[in-house]
Structure 1
Amino acid sequence: MIKNYLRITWRNMMKNKLFIFINVLGLSVGIASCIVAYFNWEFDAKFDTHHAHYNNIYRVSSIREFDGRTTLYGFAPTPMGPVIRANVPDADKVVRFSPVSSNVKREDDLFRIDIGHTDEGFFDIFTFEFINGQPAALKEKSKILLSDEMAIKLFGTTDVVGKQLTQMIGTNTREIEIGAVFKKQPSNSSFMNDAFMHYDNYFDLLPNVKEDDWKSRNTVFVLVNDPSRVNAIVKQIQVYKENNNKVREDFQIREFVLDPFAGMAQRDSANDTWSQTREGNPTAAVIAPGIMAIMVLLIACFNMTNTAIAISSRRLKEIGLRKVMGSMRSQLIIQFIGEMVFICFIALVIGLVLGEVLLASWNALWTEMKLTSHYIDDPGFLIFIISMLVFTALLAGSYPAFYISGFEPVSILKGKLKFGGTNYFTRTLLALQYTISLIGIISAFAFYQNSIYQRDFDIGVDQNGIITAYVSNQGEFETYRNALSQNKDIISIAGSKHSIWSSWYNDPVKHESKQLEVDIIEVGDDYLKTMGMELTEGRDFRKDSETDRKESIIISQKFAEELGWTQSVGKEVIWMDTVKFYVIGVVKNVYTNGLWREMQPLMIRYTTPDQYTHVIVNAPALKITDVNKFMESEWKKIFPNQLYNGWYLNSGMAEAVQVNTNIVKMFVFLGLVALVLSATGLFTLVSLNIIKRMKEIGVRKVLGASIGNITRIINTEFAIILLVSSILGSVASYYMVDLLMDSIWDYYQSTTSVTFAFSVFLMFLISGIAIGYKVFTAASMNPVNTLRNE
């Protein structure tokens, strides 16, 4: 019997090769999209789960209340690690963690390495695979533990234990020995560092930070083998918040908490937690691909349902004869469902191959996230694939199977049964197909428009003409500045301690009874001019003015708005309860967080050259690349033992541009696939409708109906379907796009009416092209042939 079922299935597929091919291809694309979405979800769901003690690790985090708002910070004062280790016996292991980039030299080549500074128990808490050497090498301050990727980059091999590197510490150097090589963590790990060193090296790189300094911050992890002791540990560490609050009036901690390592990366991403470890993917980046994949799969299934109905209309005599010969309805249902399972299985096999192609394309979009396929060794994936096969077959094949198998054989064999055309079910499926298609099209255009909007967004500075480089002290700044002054293309050069999108700190300030938390930067002469910041009120700092250094500030418009000022110059602001500042100027709003987070009020202080750590260069946007090359060449002459660290200010917006571009590509893919499948479904239904109404068309032509009149009659119901889809798709897109953009950025452009209008027009145009020839041919047909055949 099974052999007979397979033979019938294959014959029917061969009779309808074109329709089957189109639908198998559509299902394959839908299945491949779901495979990518599954691995994308798995990447986030399994973040850090490879660590053996995953469920017993906690991060010491700080909770701060300010102005009625509670915020969790993923760090603690620097002394917390040693204090907990010495005084809290319930904590089985305690390690500190602070990542800092450093330059190392191998022979004459310089490299920048991201070094995680930590304590010797780090590899007892977190799981790393060592290729050469032992984790015990972390105990020695003079040794460095490299990732396999960095070892190969430096030496071309992982067999490097015992070899030497020269580390640059400011203007000084020291020799360090490679103590071990570990396999670099997967990209869904909180620790993507190139190397690790003993924590004491951190104080050498940052001499201003002391081990007993409660003002500074780092990350502290605690291993607690007995989870029932967590609450006791939390109570014991509360006493140390007073150590912080005595020296940080600007950062009063309400309490310390033990934040579970399990799910930490996802929570940090969702809550914009300040942390020193890698965050998980944004929620939108996890959910959106899944929704898109389901949409593509649903369209393919709906298309397959309509095609199955169309194909079944040609098999009425077969069904009638089989029923007369004794076939039960259940057998016919099994036959039709079995055929659909077979077709879906073929689509699944092709989908697995396409999935690899889509995975490669996905990894090319997101450089920091590498998805890897693993089919056989993952029971979860096998369950997912089997479930998707069953779901797809039942969704696409159930209606035709149960509907057609219920026909009476007498009606079929007497020719009384007229099956074909459209009904409410097929019309609904087509409307849903086009609704999903329109969502994809509108979303693609909306994100494209948003990319242009954000690219041209006024962030308050000349982002396209600025290059920033870092120096260690005043001497380095002046030497480098003098060398750069030779270039006539450079408009201006400034120095600063902090800078926009580079470094700043956040503190509360007061004015009368009002309190406000603001971003603070300290800058030198000509900073506003060089950065292209526009004064809207007052003046700039006066060069070498001691008064300006001690008591003058420049604020942003947001600062003034938050305090309700219409005239700001001369207003008094109190910082750290005792320091008085007076406003001398107001600049246009500056978006220190880019477009990702809400703009914060900005306070600018004047600093002296001995505090400079930044070199800011302004040049014409068209010549900025040449200026950067010049800066790099001069840097190599002046600082041969340091890698050039200059960067374009507009690179701070590059991530927003990349996200927009990638989402546009994803929605273009969704829109094109959905539109092609929907157009195919429309073509199928139009063809069925014409076949059903051939006699009516012939009679109308005999009675004098024009081609245009007949075309209108055939297309009216489909035009109504497209109109309904336009409304549903536009409404759904409006809310979905706004929700998605709002989850990514605080500043974006909502979908415009032009986007809706153009997308709907495009949908109608492609649909018209898809069915135009078929409708015109039917309307132009000689009625004699039609009526004679009837």
Structure 2
Amino acid sequence: MIQNFLRITIRNMMKNKLFIFINVFGMGIAIACCIVAYFNWEFDARFNTHHVNAPTIYRVSSIREFQKQTTLYGHAPIPLGAAIRQNMPDVKHVTRLWWSYSDFKVDDNIFRAGLAYADPDLFDMFTFEFINGSPAALKDKSKVVLSDEMAIKLFGSTDVVGKMLTQVDGAILKEKEVGGVFKKQPAGSSFAEDSYTHFDNFFDDVKEVTENDWKNRDMLFVQIEDPSRVEAVQKQLQTFVENNNKVREDFVIKEFVLDPFVGMAQRDENLDTWSRLRPSSPKAAVISPIMMALLTLLIACFNMTNTAIAISSRRLKEIGIRKVMGSVRSQLIIQFIGETMFVCFVALIVGLFLGEVLLLSWNALWTEMKLTSHYLDNPSFIIFLGSVLFFTGLVAGSYPAFYISNFEPVSILKGKLKFGGTNYFTRTLLALQYAISLVAIIFAIAFYANSKYQYNFDLGFNEKSVIIAYVSNQGEFDTYRNAIQQNKDIVSIAGSKHSIFSSGYNDPIKHESKQMETDIIEVGDGYLNTMSMHLVEGRDFIKDSESDKKESVIVTEKLAKDFGWDKPLGKEIIWMDTVKLYVIGVVKDVYTNGLWDKMDPLMLRYIGPEQYTHVIVSGPTDKLVSINKAMEAQWKQVFPNRIYNGRFLDENTVEAREVNDNIVKMFAFLGIVALMLSGTGLYTLVSLNIIKKMKEIGIRKVLGASVSNITRIINAEFVIILVIASALGSWLSYYAVDWLMDSIWDYYLPMSNVTVAVSVFILFFISAVAIGYKVLGAATMNPVNTLRVE
């Protein structure tokens, strides 16, 4: 019996090659989207799960309450690590972690080090696979442990234990011995560093920080093997809160907490926790592909349902004869659902190949993620594929199977059964198909418009014309500035200790009884001009003015607004409880976090050249690339032992544009696939409708109906369906587009009526193209061919 069913299935597929090809290809694309969505979800769900001890590891974090808001900070004071190690026997391992900006030099070649300072317990707590050497090498301050990628980059081999390299930290050169080589951590790991050295080296490299300095903070992890002792350890941590609060009146914390390492990366991303570790995927990046896959899969299922009904209309006599010969309804149902399942299985095979192509495209779009397919070693994926196959087969095949198998054989064989045209179910499916297609089109156009909007967004300074390079002190600043200022394309050069989109700090300030937190950057002469920041009122800092250094500040409009100042000039600000500062100028609002997060108030303080660490250069946007190349050439001459560290300031906004463009590509792809499948479904239903109305059309032609009149009769109900789909799709998009954009940015362009209108026009235009030839052929056919009875 099964062999007979299979033979009938293949025979019917061969009779309807075009429809089957379209369905298989469309369903294959939908399944490929599901595969990508699955591996994308898996990447996020399995983040850090390769660390064997993950369930027993906790990050020591700080909770701070300020202005009735509670915030989690993923760091702790540096001395707390030693205090835990000495006083808490329930803690098995402790490791501190911080990052270096050093480079590595081997012979005459210089490379970015990706170096982190860590306690030796790091390799006991977290899972690192060593290729050569020993994790114990981290106990030796004179050694460094490298990833296999870094070892190959430096030496061309992983067999490098015992070899020497030079750590370049500014003007300081240190010789280090390679003590071990570990396999690079996977992309789904919080630890992205390429090299590690003993944490005590941090105090040697950063002289202003000591091991007993409660003012400075690092990442701190502990391992507690007995879960019942976690609460006790957390209580013991509270005894050290006062140590922090005595020296950090600007950063008073409520308590220390043990933040479980399991799920930490996801929480850091979703809660925007301060952390230097690599976070997991943004929530929107996980949900959006799932939404796309489900929408594409539903469209493919709806399209297959309509096609199955159309194909089945040609098999009425077969159904009638089989019923007369003794076939029961259940056998017919199994036959039709089985045929659909078989088509879906073929589509599944196609989807596996297309999935590999889409994974390559996905990795090209999102370079931070490296999704890899793994089928046979992943039982959950096999279950997932089986579920997709079962779902598609039932959704696409159930209605045709139950509907057609219910016909009476007498009606079929007498020719009394009129099968064809549309019904409420097929109309509903078509409307849903087109609604989903419209959602995809609206998403693509809305994000494209948002990309243009954000590109031209005024951030309060000209980020497109600025380059920042980093130096260690005033001497290096003066030397480098003198080397590059001969470049005629450079408009302005300024120095600073901090800068927008670069560095700074956040502190509470007071005015009278009101207190708030603000971002603070310390800048030198010409900073406002070089950054193209606009003074709204007041003045700039006066060159070499000692009073400006001690007590003058420039604030943004937001800071003035948050304090409720109508006339901010001359207002007094109290900083660090005792320092009195006075407002001498107000600049236009600066979006300190780009477009990603809410704009914070900003305060600028004035410093002298002895504190400069930033070289800030501005020039014409169209010449900035050549300016950067010239700066790099001069850097190699001035600092031959260091990698050029200059960067374009608009990297932050470039990232926003890349996210926009990638989402546009994703939804444009979905829109094309959805429209292709929806157009096929529309073509099928129009064809059925024309078959049903052939005699009516012929009679109308004989009675003098025009081509336009016939066209209107054929298209009327489909225009209504498209109107309903447009209304539904527009309504869904109104909420969905705003939700997705809001989950990514705080500042974006909401969906407009123009976007909806353009999308609806595209929908109707593509639909007209899909069925135009068929409708025109029906409207212009010779009525003799339809009315003649042989």
Instruction: Give 1:55 shift.
Output: 0.8
Counterpart secondary structure, 2:48 = coil
- In structure 1, distance between residues paired with 2:34 and 2:169: 49
Equivalent residue for 1:191?
Answer: 191
**What SS is found at the alignment partner of 2:58?**
strand
Note the alpha carbon deviations across 1:325-353, whole angstroms, 9 max, x for none.
00011110111111111111100001000
Alignment of 1:224-243 (within 5 A): 224-243=224-243
Alignment RMSD (CA, Å): 0.8
Equivalence for 2:618: 618
The answer for the alignment partner of 1:170 in structure 2 is 170
Which amino acid letter does the alignment assign opposite residue 404 of structure 2?
A: I
Q: CA deviation at 1:789?
A: 4.5
Amino acid at match of 2:643: L
1:545-564 correspondence runs (5 A): 545-564=545-564
Question: How does 1:479-628 map onto structure 2 within 5 Å?
Answer: 479-628=479-628
1:179 and 2:159 are equivalent in the alignment: no
- In 1, distance between residues paired with 2:154 and 2:394? 55
Quote the Cα distance in structure 2 between the aligned partners of 1:351 and 1:171. 56
Give the equivalent residue in structure 2 for 1:208: 208
**C-alpha distance in 2 between matches for 1:516 and 1:567:** 19
Could you say which residue in structure 2 is the equivalent of 1:673? 673
- Counterpart of 1:30 in structure 2 is 30
> Aligned runs of 1:658-697 on 2, under 5 Å?
658-697=658-697
- 2: CA distance, partners of 1:565 / 1:283: 38
Superposed CA offset, 1:512-535 (max 9, x none): 111111000000011101110000
Is 1:701 aligned with 2:701?
yes
1:78 matched residue in structure 2: 78
**8 Å CA contact 2:102, 2:170 repeated in 1:** no
Residue 578 of structure 1 aligns to which amino acid in structure 2?
Answer: T
Give the TM-score normalised by structure 1: 0.99
- Give, in whole Å, the separation in 1 of the partners of 2:207 and 2:750: 48
SS in 1 for 2:71: strand
Amino acid at match of 1:771: I
- d(CA) in 2 for partners of 1:115 and 1:267? 25
Contact 2:554 2:585 in 1 (8 A): yes
Looking at structure 2, the residues matched to 294 and 427 of structure 1 have their Cα atoms a distance apart, in angstroms, of 20
Q: Find the aligned partners of 2:177 and 2:132 in 1 and give their Cα distance.
A: 14
Distance in 1 of aligned mates of 2:731 and 2:167: 59
The amino acid that maps onto 2:195 is: A
CA contact (8 A) 2:170 2:471 kept: no
SS of 1:52's partner is coil
Deviations 1:241-285 (A, max 9, x none): 111101111100000000000000000000110001100111000
Paired amino acid for 1:740: L
1:217 aligns with 2:217: yes
Q: 1:789 to 1:302 in 2, by over 3 A?
A: farther
Residues 698 and 782 of structure 1 are in contact (CA less than 8 Å); yes or no, is this contact kept in structure 2? Answer: yes
Instruction: Give the residue type in structure 2 aligned to 1:756.
Output: V
Aligned-partner SS, 2:461: coil
Give distance in 1, aligned partners of 2:485 and 2:196: 39
2:405 aligned with 1:405? yes
Contact 2:37-2:290 within 8 A present in 1 as well: yes
**Partner-residue secondary structure (3-state), 1:101:** coil
Deviation digits for residues 184-216 of structure 1 (CA, Å, limit 9, x no counterpart): 111010001011111011222222221111110
Q: How does 1:52-71 map to 2 (within 5 A)?
A: 52-71=52-71
Equivalent position amino acid for 1:357 in 2? V
What is the DSSP-based 3-state SS (H/G/I as helix, E as strand, rest coil) of the residue aligned with 1:262? Answer: coil
**d(CA) in 2 for partners of 1:736, 1:210:** 51
Corresponding residue for 1:137? Answer: 137
| Structure-1 residue corresponding to 2:276 | 276
Give the superposition deviation at 1:169.
Answer: 2.5
Cα distance, 1:568 vs. partner? 0.7
Could you say what secondary structure the match of 2:101 adopts? strand
What residue number does 2:478 align with? Answer: 478
**Contact 1:422 1:685 survives alignment (8 Å):** yes
Once residues 388 and 622 of structure 2 are traced to their aligned partners in structure 1, the CA distance between those partners, rounded to angstroms, is: 53
Displacement of 1:153 after TM fit? Answer: 1.2
For structure 2, which runs of at least 5 residues remain unmatched after alignment? none
Specify the alignment match of 1:289 in structure 2.
289
> Identity across aligned pairs (percent)?
68
- Residue in 2 aligned with 1:750? 750
Report if aligned partners of 2:146, 2:195 keep a CA contact under 8 Å in 1. yes
Amino acid in the other structure paired with 1:576: M
> Displacement, 1:163?
0.9
Q: Please name the residue that 1:721 is paired with.
A: 721
Q: Secondary structure at the match of 2:352?
A: helix
1:760 is the counterpart of 2:760: yes
Superposed counterparts of 1:417-496, under 5 Å: 417-496=417-496
Q: 1:154-178 CA deviation, whole Å, 9 max, x = no partner? A: 1221111111101112212111011
The one-letter amino acid of 2:133's match is: G
What are the within-5 Å matches in structure 2 for residues 368-407 of structure 1?
Answer: 368-407=368-407
* Residue 313 in structure 1 maps to residue 313 in structure 2: yes
In 2, distance between residues paired with 1:336 and 1:600?
62
Greater CA drift, 549-558 or 750-759: 750-759
Q: Distance in 1 between matches of 2:421 and 2:219?
A: 67
User: Amino acid of the residue matched to residue 666 of structure 1?
Assistant: M
Map 1:315-330; keep pairs closer than 5 Å: 315-330=315-330
Q: Is the 8 A contact 1:169 1:204 kept in 2?
A: no
Q: Quick one: which amino acid aligns to residue 94 of structure 2?
A: V
Letter of the aligned partner of 2:89 in structure 1?
A: P
Whether 1:633 and 2:613 are equivalent positions in the alignment is no
- Superposition deviation, residue 72 in structure 1: 0.2
Partner of 2:363: 363
My pick for the range that moved more, 33-42 or 648-657, is 648-657
| 2:785 paired residue number | 785
User: Which segments of 5 or more consecutive residues in structure 1 lack a partner in the other structure?
Assistant: none
Q: Deviations over 1:534-558 (max 9, x none)?
A: 0001000001111000000000000
Q: Distance in 1 between matches of 2:658 and 2:165?
A: 36
Q: Does the 8 A contact of 2:101 with 2:169 survive in 1?
A: no
* Structure-1 separation of matches of 2:205 and 2:309: 72
Q: For residues 449 and 316 of structure 2, what CA distance do their matches in structure 1 show?
A: 51
What SS class does the counterpart of residue 303 from structure 1 fall into? helix
**What's the secondary structure of 2:113's corresponding residue?**
strand
2:676 and 2:235 map into 1 onto residues whose CA distance is 62
Q: Is the 8 A contact 1:103 1:167 kept in 2?
A: yes
Deviation track 1:303-340 (CA, whole Å, cap 9, x = no partner) reads 00000000000000000000000001111011111111
Q: Distance in 2 between matches of 1:707 and 1:120?
A: 84
Q: CA deviation at 1:504?
A: 0.7
How many angstroms apart in 2 are the aligned matches of 1:99 and 1:386? Answer: 45
Matched residues, number? 790
Preserved contact between residue 471 and residue 615 of structure 1 (Cα < 8 Å): yes
Structure 1 Cα separation of the partners of residues 753 and 206 of structure 2: 54
The amino acid that maps onto 1:600 is D
* Equivalent residues of 1:57, 1:224 under 8 A apart: yes
- The corresponding residue for 1:244 is 244
Query: Any residues of structure 2 matched to 1:645-660 within 5 Å, and which?
Result: 645-660=645-660
Q: What residue in structure 2 maps to residue 331 of structure 1?
A: 331
What is the distance in 2 between the residues matched to 1:614 and 1:151? 31
Question: Given that residues 237 and 256 in structure 2 are in contact (C-alpha distance below 8 angstroms), is that contact kept between their aligned partners in structure 1?
Answer: yes
Given that 2:504 and 2:520 are in contact with CA atoms closer than 8 Å, whether structure 1 keeps it comes out as yes
| Aligned equivalents of 1:789, 1:461: Cα separation in 2 | 80
Contact 1:518 1:603 in 2 (8 A): yes
* In structure 2, C-alpha distance between the alignment counterparts of 1:213 and 1:236, rounded to whole Å: 20
| Amino acid paired to 1:713 | I
2:116 and 2:399 map into 1 onto residues whose CA distance is: 59
Which secondary structure state, in structure 1, belongs to the residue aligned with residue 89 of structure 2? coil
